[in-house]
């Protein structure tokens, strides 16, 4: 996913008390209930999101079984690295999980593999109010007018900044409006130079900016108005994000090349950002560089669990992405969802559990447990009011709302490539491994872009052949 706030360490502020359900685990109900056979629904979850999330899963399963004695929820947990493989192997074996999640590299792959159930008929027959979820989240989970998941979260990419370091450098704070065109990459780099303080050891330095290029470099190329999978234009012009298949690349375009040159120069020429080697040293101080207090501005997904877990000793806030040379401040959208298997033997029961997970007190307790921004519209206002009072937060509720909801506005953000492309893991590995020398300053921009194009050639050829077939 790239460097971001909250990439590790899932912590809990509080979990909803579930009363009698506390005593009922996911292994509780078997046999029959009131003379009716018990339906078993397998729920595939992640095991690496921390003990509080595991406890949340057990409690929710127990509560649901208490309300529905004729349903047994069987939880299977695997780490993120094994999630896609586990889902596909269970499906191939004829024992697909009834309910599972998309998370980082799932939706595009699962859709291409045909494992996702179309939820539209179930939503219509249940008369579920679709407007209860944020529009940007539902757009991300809809293809060809069909809904393939219900969102558990909906988060824009933003810039986290250390207000204490800005004050020490006598700099004005970044704006809170995405429409403020005075907030540019040029301004951001100048601020970063004023904040940066270099020493012989990276753990003692202060870095003005930690701006990740993002998946396939799109965190930056979108600011230039271009995309690596479209001949011209930004993410809306890339059909790969709608089909899931990358059949052509444009890494050598002048626009994309300029964006990647900027990314490299932040550390190699401007010396405002830690190099990959510096980053390794910096992370010895903590899992998240920003939380060390030695980074002025860092790009990331709006997830606040580090602030819930570790009270920062500095003042901090968030800001919109800066406008790039292309006149764009387009940002990433991150929508994780619970989905239903197309092959489940109990689709009606699975849909009801899916609906239960994503609404009411379960959605609220999930947001509080993970620090993920909720997709349920009714929870967003109370979440923003709570987060405006976090330790060190400098923004008021109104200012925070402007940044977060502004980043979720139609046309402002596009779903991250990792959530839309099939075979994202293989594609991302090809991009990252090829460009490692480039970001270390050991390769020219033109040479690096030719190299990554060559690395993608067999992958795009395979996608093109599959589309033709």
Q: Is residue 149 part of a domain?
A: yes
Return per-residue pLDDT of the chain as tens, 469 residues: 333 343 333 333 333 333 333 333 333 344 555 556 689 999 999 999 889 999 999 999 999 999 999 999 999 999 988 988 898 899 889 999 999 999 867 899 899 889 999 999 999 999 889 899 999 999 999 999 999 999 999 999 999 999 999 999 999 999 999 999 999 999 999 999 999 998 878 788 999 999 999 999 999 999 999 999 999 999 999 999 999 999 999 999 999 999 999 999 999 999 999 988 888 888 888 778 999 999 999 999 999 988 887 889 999 999 999 999 999 999 999 999 999 999 999 999 999 999 999 999 999 999 989 999 999 999 999 999 999 999 999 999 999 999 999 999 989 999 999 999 998 989 999 999 999 999 988 999 999 999 999 999 999 867 655 655 5
124 lies in the same domain as 216: no
Give the residue among 75, 1, 21 at the shortest CA–CA distance from 361: 21
Q: How many domains does the chain have?
A: 2
Q: Could you tell me the two tokens for 336?
A: 């994780």
Among 387, 407, 431, which residue terminates a domain?
387
pLDDT at site 467: 55
272 lies in the same domain as 287: yes
Q: Is residue 3 part of a domain?
A: no
Q: Where are the beta strands (DSSP E) in 17-174?
A: 32-33, 36-37, 39-46, 71-78, 99-101, 142-143, 146-147, 150-151, 155-162
171 lies in the same domain as 67: no
pLDDT at site 271: 93
pLDDT at site 307: 84
162 lies in the same domain as 257: yes
Q: Which 3 state secondary structure label does DSSP give 142? A: strand
pLDDT at site 5: 40
Q: Is residue 400 part of a domain?
A: no
267 lies in the same domain as 290: yes
Q: Is residue 128 part of a domain?
A: yes
* CATH classification of the domain holding 268: 3.40.190.10
147 lies in the same domain as 196: no
Q: Is residue 285 part of a domain?
A: yes
Angle at 173 between CA 290 and CA 200, to 5 degrees: 40
Angle at 97 between CA 91 and CA 102, to 5 degrees: 90
pLDDT at site 278: 86
Among 365, 387, 409, which residue terminates a domain?
387
Q: Is residue 409 part of a domain?
A: no
138 lies in the same domain as 189: no
Q: What is the sign of the dihedral through the CA atoms of 113, 115, 121 and 124? A: negative
Give the residue among 151, 157, 129 at the shortest CA–CA distance from 363: 151
Q: Is residue 425 part of a domain?
A: yes
302 lies in the same domain as 179: yes
Residue 360: give the domain boundaries.
19-154+335-387
139 lies in the same domain as 57: yes
Question: How far apart, in Å, are the Cα atoms of 76 and each of 95, 101, 153, 281, 453?
Answer: 12, 12, 21, 36, 39
Q: Could you tell me the two tokens for 116?
A: 């996702």
177 lies in the same domain as 92: no
The distance from CA 362 to its chain's CA centroid, rounded to whole angstroms, is 20
353 lies in the same domain as 369: yes
Q: Is residue 349 part of a domain?
A: yes
261 lies in the same domain as 369: no
């Amino acid at each position: 996913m790239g460097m971001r706030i909250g990439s590790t360490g899932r912590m809990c502020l509080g979990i909803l008390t579930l009363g009698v359900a506390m005593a009922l685990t996911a292994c509780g109900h078997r046999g029959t209930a009131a003379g009716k056979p018990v339906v078993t629904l397998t729920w595939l979850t992640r095991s690496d999101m921390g003990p509080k999330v595991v406890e949340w899963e057990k409690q929710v399963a127990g509560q649901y079984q208490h309300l529905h004695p004729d349903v047994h929820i069987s939880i299977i947990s695997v780490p993120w690295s094994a999630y896609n493989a586990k889902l596909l192997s269970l499906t191939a074996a004829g024992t697909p999980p009834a309910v599972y999640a998309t998370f980082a590299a799932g939706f595009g792959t699962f859709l291409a593999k045909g494992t996702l159930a179309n939820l539209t008929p179930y939503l219509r027959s249940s008369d579920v109010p679709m407007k209860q979820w944020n529009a940007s989240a539902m757009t991300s989970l809809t293809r060809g007018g069909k809904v393939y998941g219900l969102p558990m979260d909906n988060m824009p990419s933003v810039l986290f900044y250390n207000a204490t370091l800005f004050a020490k450098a006598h700099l004005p704070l970044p704006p809170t409006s995405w429409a403020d065109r005075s907030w540019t990459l040029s301004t951001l780099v100048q601020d970063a130079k004023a904040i940066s303080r270099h020493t012989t050891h990276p753990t003692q330095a202060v870095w003005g900016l930690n701006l990740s290029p993002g998946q396939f470099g799109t965190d930056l190329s979108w600011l230039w108005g271009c995309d690596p999978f479209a001949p011209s234009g930004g993410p809306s012009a890339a059909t790969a994000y709608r089909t899931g298949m990358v059949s052509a690349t444009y890494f050598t375009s002048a626009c994309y090349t300029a964006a990647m040159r900027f990314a490299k120069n932040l550390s190699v020429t401007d010396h405002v950002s830690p190099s990959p080697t510096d980053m390794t040293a910096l992370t010895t101080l903590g899992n998240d560089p920003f939380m060390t207090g030695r980074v002025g501005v860092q790009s990331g997904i709006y997830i606040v669990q580090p602030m819930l877990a570790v009270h920062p000793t500095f003042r901090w806030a968030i800001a919109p992405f800066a406008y790039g040379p292309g006149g764009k401040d387009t940002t990433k959208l991150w929508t994780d969802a619970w989905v239903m298997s197309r092959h489940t033997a109990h689709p009606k029961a699975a849909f009801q559990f899916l609906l239960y997970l994503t609404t009411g007190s379960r959605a609220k307790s999930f947001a509080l447990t993970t620090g993920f921004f909720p997709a349920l519209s009714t929870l967003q206002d109370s979440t923003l009011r709570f987060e405006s009072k976090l330790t060190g937060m400098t923004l008021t509720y109104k200012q925070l709302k402007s940044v977060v909801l502004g980043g979720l506005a139609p046309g402002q953000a596009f779903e991250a490539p990792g959530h839309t492309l099939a075979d994202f893991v293989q594609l991302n590995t090809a991009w990252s491994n090829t460009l490692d020398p480039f970001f270390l300053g050991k390769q020219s921009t033109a040479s690096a872009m030719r190299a990554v194009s060559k690395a993608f050639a067999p992958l795009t050829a395979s996608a093109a052949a599959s589309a033709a077939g």
